[in-house]
Amino acid sequence: MRLHPPLTPLIAALPSTVPFVGPEAQERDRGRPFRARIGANESSFGPSPRVIARMESVARDQWMYCDPDNFDLKQAAATHLGVGAENVVIGEGIDGLLSLVARMYVAPGDAVVTSLGAYPTFNFHVAGVGGRLVAVPYENDRESLDGLLAAAVREKAPLVYLSNPDNPMGSWWEAGEIIRFIEALPETTMLVLDEAYGELGPASVLPPIDVSRPNVVRMRTFSKAYGLAGIRCGYAVAEPQVIRDFEKIRNHYGVSRMAQIAGVEALADQAFLESVVTRVAAGRRRIATIAEANGLKPLPSATNFVTIDCGSDGAFALKVLQGLLSRDVFIRKPMAPQLDRCIRVSVGLDHELDIFAEELPGALAAARGN
C-alpha cells in the first residue's frame, strides 16, 4: 500500500462530509430528473433580461482573466448601498465570504456562536479552521437574539452568525431589534449579519447601513432575488479596516469576469428586482394556500420559500419529504430538533407549484400510512 502525504491534524480529524447534497447528485442517484426543483431557494424566475443580454454580449471576452480588483462591481455595490468603495468586498457568493471571515477571526479552539439549525455552510467553514461551535436553539421559530447575545458574552466569542431574514424558517426580526442586538454585542465580537434574503422581505427588516462599526459585517448575494445563483457572486459591506483585512486573504481571481459584469447589470435593473419581489410574494401565498388545503400550517416568511409545519414530529416530516422526492418534487427540510417537524418549499414557476399541489396529498397519505 502506498503512503499518503500526511494531512494537518486539524483536517485529518474532520469527517468526510459536505453541507448539502445537491439536486444534481440526487438526480444522478435516482436516474431521472426532478419535475419540480423547489428546494434550493433559487429563483426560478432567473436574472433580468437585461443581465442575460449583457452576459451574451461579453461571452466572447471570457478568454481574459477577471479584474482582480472587482473595480466596477465594487463601485456599483457601493453606489447601490450609499457607501464608499472602501466599504465593500466582493466574493464567491456569501459562502466564499463566510470562509474568509472564519479564517480572519477564528483560531483553533475559539468559540463561535450560531443558531442550532441555521445555515450549515457557516458551520462547515468554522470546523475547517478548528473553531468550536456553540449552537443556540431557536425560540418560537426565530433565531434567539437574547440567546445568541448571552452565548457570545459567556463564551467571549470572536464571531457570531445571524441571518435576517432567516434560513431555514423564513422568519425575521425587525430592524430595530437587530440594531439593539448589535449595540449590546461586545466590541470584541464580530457579527456576521447574513442578509441573503434581504431584498425579499419587508423594508422594515434591514437596518440602515452603518459602516462606522468595526464589529459588524453585512453580507448580500446575487443568488436569491437577482436570480444568479449559478455565477457565485456576493458582497460584504463593513468598516474600511475590516475590508482591508478581507483583501489580505481573499482569492483575487475568484470572481469571474462574467460574474462581475452580471452583478453590475443586475444592480442597475432595480425594476426587474421589484417585479421578482412581487412574484415571490405571490408564490409564497400560493404555497401557503396549498399547505392549508392539506391541513398543514405555513409559517410567515420574508424569503423566497415557505416553511411548512407538518403538525407532527421530525420522523413524519421526513416521510413527507421522501414522499415528495419519490414523486419527483425536490424540496428540503430543517433537521434540527423542534425545527425538523417542518418541510421547506421554495417559490417556483407556476407549473412547478402545480406539480407540488398535485403530489402533496399523496405524499402526506403515504407518510400517514394510508
Name the domain count of the chain: 2
What sign for the dihedral angle of Cα 90, 103, 170, 305? positive
What's the pLDDT at 252? 96
The Cα 362–Cα 97 span in angstroms is: 41
Q: Is residue 1 part of a domain?
A: no
- State whether 262 and 284 are in the same domain: no
Q: Is residue 125 part of a domain?
A: yes
Residue whose entry in the numeric block shows the C-alpha cell 466599504: 87
DSSP 17-63: --S---HHHHHHHHTS--SEE-SS---TT-S-HHHHHHHHHTGGGGG
Which of 214, 246, 269 represents a domain boundary (last residue)? 269
- State whether 177 and 302 are in the same domain: no
- State whether 42 and 65 are in the same domain: no
For the beta sheet containing 190-194, the strands, ordered from the edge strand earlier in sequence to the opposite edge, are: 88-91, 234-237, 216-221, 190-194, 159-163, 111-115, 132-136
- State whether 264 and 293 are in the same domain: no
According to DSSP, the β-strands at 234-237 and 88-91 are antiparallel
Residues spanned by the domain of 350: 9-46+271-367
- The domain that holds 103 is classified in CATH as 3.40.640.10
What's the pLDDT at 338? 95
Q: Is residue 35 part of a domain?
A: yes
Q: Please, what are the averages of pLDDT over each run of 10 residues along the chain (370 residues)?
A: 91 87 94 97 97 98 98 98 98 98 98 97 96 98 98 98 98 98 98 98 95 97 98 98 98 97 98 98 98 98 98 98 98 97 98 98 95
Q: What is the pTM of this model?
A: 0.96
Contact assessment for residue 200 and residue 306, using Cβ atoms and an 8 Å cutoff: no
Q: Is residue 67 part of a domain?
A: yes
Q: Is residue 63 part of a domain?
A: yes
- Cα 135 off chain centre by: 18
Q: Is residue 4 part of a domain?
A: no
- State whether 108 and 243 are in the same domain: yes
What's the pLDDT at 370? 78
What's the pLDDT at 17? 82
- State whether 174 and 207 are in the same domain: yes
What's the pLDDT at 20? 83
Nearest to 51 by CA among 214, 228, 303: 228
- State whether 158 and 177 are in the same domain: yes
- State whether 257 and 302 are in the same domain: no
